[in-house]
């Protein structure tokens, strides 16, 4: 299931004078609404934790986690500076011309860690009598190799230190670097079927422009795993990392190994690693929070607790990802505007969903292309390494993940057109739909709405990776208490904020554990999901549970409506060849235990968590539900295959590279069999070429 950098602008308390005439309404409405989200009002604020993703998001953050294991900074979402900005004036008691030298400290350690390189750095400055920096120089030495680099500069000490870093990574460690260098690693990547690459990927720090963060630059060289001493191919600029580089558009590891693989595929002696002559056109459907969203306002009245928010926008504006949820208290007023815009309203009379604000429109970004789903960059690179070409025979169908299938008419229409266009651009070949995590449910709903004749004409197969057919306790428990399972999402985020954000997303109610009589594929009356001192709650008790939580006047009606919507209630077969892949063998949360007497609006944090078998986020019983399609598919002469992968984490069947050797600072990002699922999917897809 997602993460890109989320940025919100929030008016600090000291600037609240702009709202002085409205001070009382802000305090009574805005601040009280902040506290409903678990954000302390001014004077009682406290720092929160990391940028979250919602429960069941297919962990695009894990893609970036892999990059950070290799580089120490983000690939596309450039993190902040790796060292603090230093003042132009330093304390001194000396006279003009005094020189002072300082070690560069990283926390309590004298070592600075960049790309896994342990650098010991220092800087010296020439000061005037007032302590103002006149000039500076810096030196960095890499501890394992003993290589050193220096730089000279002016009064901006930070820029001088960055110049030393750049000299170190580009000059001292760059140019014909090997995977043994501290800024490099040797990776294992899956290429076309039958081909595995070994690839040395090296990352460099590019000096930032004034006021900007340092940029990440990566280069790679590829060999066929069958012949490491034989032919190789490199991404552009490998020998001279900065040659022809535009620092304003640096390339990360994903781009580097994609370019290296393409270069190798073009070699006349590429063999099994050559670009496949034929591949089936592919449409990928991402999961929860992966799709970027944008919104437009036209004469839209904000809610009373956010009355200061804009009523009309000039064109489309980013909605997701856009808000800095890690520290909303520092930008509270604009955070509340974002809350007003992200919320979805359910009308129990008309049974319809829409923006909570009248006059608001919302849509996914860049439908059909990968720019609208940046959180899955690792997957787009993996597909290109395997031979697909984005926007030629590989496409993406993003969607507004806040809405359940009954409100996805626009997505269904757009996806139908995209499939037809993909087939037309590829000689009329049928299209494979590959959906991940939350995506399979929406893809199944799409196929339910297409006629058998249309599916026979356009659909080759449907691949469902880590589906949530029967729901998952993770969706319910976050909704109930704001609890996020460690390592899955929202680490450090206040439970109040997570809980209220989850409740603004109706599609998560659609993902509540599904009540049934077969414990193998559903949750029975014996399966406790929420336990309190006075009573237990099962999937059959959700209406009562929601009522006691006092979520909203429509929450109970919303759940009853979505629990009975036919796509997942009737669960008809998709009507095309289908492959279902999922992980097993990992402890997966199944229920929460509370010390409270009963559930209420003021439910305490859970005291313990119970577990069952699954992929770490979704229990095994959920993907197993599609075994019920066997008879229907046999009657239609369509195949149905289920494949379980031991210790495969949720939605990690994405072609994530494996670090196999290099600097001691690098560690394997995935289990030994991490690529087994992805390789199996590739082999399945090529059957339909």
Domain residue ranges in the chain:
13-46+293-363, 60-273, 473-624
Compute mean pLDDT per 10 residues along the chain, 689 residues long, and list them.
26 25 31 48 36 46 36 34 44 50 60 65 81 84 78 82 76 57 80 89 69 69 73 71 56 82 89 90 94 95 92 94 70 85 92 93 95 88 94 96 94 98 97 97 98 98 97 89 60 63 85 95 96 96 91 86 94 98 94 93 88 95 98 97 94 84 45 78 94
| Cα–Cα distance for residue pair 327/348, rounded to 1 Å | 34
**For residue 140, what are its two tokens?**
């960095």
pLDDT score for 120:
78
User: Who contacts 613 (Cβ-Cβ below 8 Å, separation ≥6)?
Assistant: 584, 585, 586, 588, 619, 620
Phi, psi for residue 549 in degrees, rounded to 5: -70, -20
- 136: β partners: 125, 153
The three-state secondary structure class of 624 is helix
Burial of 93 per CB tally in 10 Å (0-12, 13-18, 19+) = exposed
C-alpha radius of gyration, the chain, whole number: 27
For residues 660, 661, 663, 666, the Cα torsion angle rounded to the nearest 10 degrees is 10
pLDDT score for 93:
39
pLDDT score for 544:
93
| Cα–Cα distance for residue pair 685/386, rounded to 1 Å | 11
Q: Does the model's pTM come out above 0.85?
A: no
pLDDT score for 245:
53
- 642: β partners: 580
Strand 117-127 with 98-103, pairing: antiparallel
For residues 305, 308, 311, 315, the Cα torsion angle rounded to the nearest 10 degrees is -120
**For residue 367, what are its two tokens?**
């439908």
Phi, psi for residue 275 in degrees, rounded to 5: -60, 125
Decide: 92 and 67 in contact? Cβ < 8 Å.
no
| Cα–Cα distance for residue pair 436/284, rounded to 1 Å | 8
| Cα–Cα distance for residue pair 264/653, rounded to 1 Å | 24
Burial of 646 per CB tally in 10 Å (0-12, 13-18, 19+) = exposed
- 93: β partners: none
Decide: 578 and 643 in contact? Cβ < 8 Å.
no
| Cα–Cα distance for residue pair 168/150, rounded to 1 Å | 8
């Amino acid at each position: 299931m997602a993460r890109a950098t989320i940025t919100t602008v929030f008016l600090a308390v000291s600037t609240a004078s702009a709202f002085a005439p409205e001070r009382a309404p802000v305090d009574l409405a805005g601040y009280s609404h902040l506290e409903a989200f678990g954000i302390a009002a001014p004077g009682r604020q406290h720092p929160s934790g990391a940028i979250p993703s919602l429960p069941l998001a297919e962990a695009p953050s894990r893609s970036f986690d892999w990059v950070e294991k290799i580089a120490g900074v983000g690939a596309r979402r450039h993190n902040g500076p790796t060292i603090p900005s230093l003042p132009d004036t330093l304390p001194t008691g000396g006279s003009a011309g005094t020189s002072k030298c300082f070690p560069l400290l990283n926390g309590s350690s004298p070592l600075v860690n960049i790309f896994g390189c342990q650098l010991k750095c220092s800087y010296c400055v020439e000061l005037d009598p007032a302590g103002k920096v006149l000039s500076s120089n810096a030196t960095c030495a890499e501890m394992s190799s003993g290589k050193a680099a220096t730089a000279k500069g002016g009064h901006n000490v930070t820029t001088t230190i960055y110049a030393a870093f750049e000299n170190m990574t580009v000059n001292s460690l760059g140019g014909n670097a090997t995977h043994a260098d501290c800024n490099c690693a040797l990776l294992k990547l899956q290429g076309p079927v039958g081909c595995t690459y070994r690839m040395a990927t090296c990352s460099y720090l590019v000096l930032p422009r004034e006021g900007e963060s340092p940029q990440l630059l990566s280069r790679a060289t590829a060999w066929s795993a069958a012949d490491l001493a034989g032919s190789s191919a490199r991404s552009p600029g490998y020998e001279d990392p900065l040659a022809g580089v535009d620092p304003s558009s640096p390339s990360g590891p994903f781009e580097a190994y994609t370019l290296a693989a393409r270069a190798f595929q073009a070699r006349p002696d590429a063999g099994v690693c050559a670009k496949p002559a034929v591949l089936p056109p592919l449409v990928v459907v991402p999961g929860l929070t992966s799709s970027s969203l944008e919104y437009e306002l036209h004469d839209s009245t904000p809610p009373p607790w956010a009355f200061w928010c804009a009523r009309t926008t000039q064109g489309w504006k980013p909605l997701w990802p856009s808000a800095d949820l890690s520290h909303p208290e520092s930008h509270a007023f604009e955070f509340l505007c974002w809350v007003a815009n992200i919320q979805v309203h359910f009308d129990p009379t008309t049974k319809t969903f829409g923006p909570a604000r009248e006059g608001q429109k919302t849509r996914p970004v860049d439908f059909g292309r990968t720019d609208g789903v940046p959180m899955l960059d690792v997957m787009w690179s993996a597909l290109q390494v395997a031979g697909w070409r984005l926007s030629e025979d590989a496409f993406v169908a993003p969607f507004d993940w806040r809405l359940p299938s009954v409100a996805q008419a626009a997505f269904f229409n757009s996806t139908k057109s995209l499939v037809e266009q993909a087939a037309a651009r590829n000689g009329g070949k049928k299209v494979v739909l590959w959906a991940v995590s939350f995506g399979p449910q929406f893809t199944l709903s799409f196929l339910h709405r297409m006629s058998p004749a249309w599916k026979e004409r356009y659909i080759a197969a449907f691949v469902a990776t880590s589906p949530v057919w029967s729901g998952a306790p993770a969706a319910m428990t976050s909704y109930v208490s704001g609890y996020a399972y460690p390592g899955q999402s929202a680490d450090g985020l206040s439970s109040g904020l997570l809980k209220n954000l989850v409740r603004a997303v109706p599609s998560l109610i659609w993902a509540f554990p599904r009540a049934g009589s077969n414990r193998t594929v559903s949750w029975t009356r014996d399966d406790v999901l929420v336990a309190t001192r006075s009573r237990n709650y099962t999937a059959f008790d959700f209406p009562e549970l929601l009522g006691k939580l006092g979520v909203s006047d429509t929450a109970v009606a919303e759940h009853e409506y979505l629990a009975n919507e036919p796509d997942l209630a009737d669960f008809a077969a998709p009507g095309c060849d289908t492959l279902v892949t999922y992980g097993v063998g990992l402890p997966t949360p199944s229920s929460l235990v509370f010390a409270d007497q009963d559930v209420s609006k003021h439910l305490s944090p859970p005291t313990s968590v119970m577990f069952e078998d699954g992929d770490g986020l979704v229990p095994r019983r959920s993907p197993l539900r599609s075994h019920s399609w066997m008879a229907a598919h046999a009657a239609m002469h369509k195949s149905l295959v289920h494949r379980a992968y031991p210790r495969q984490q949720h939605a990690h069947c994405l072609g994530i590279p494996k670090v196999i050797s290099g600097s001691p600072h690098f560690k394997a990002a995935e289990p030994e069999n991490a690529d087994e699922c992805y390789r199996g999917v590739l082999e399945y897809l090529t059957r339909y070429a």
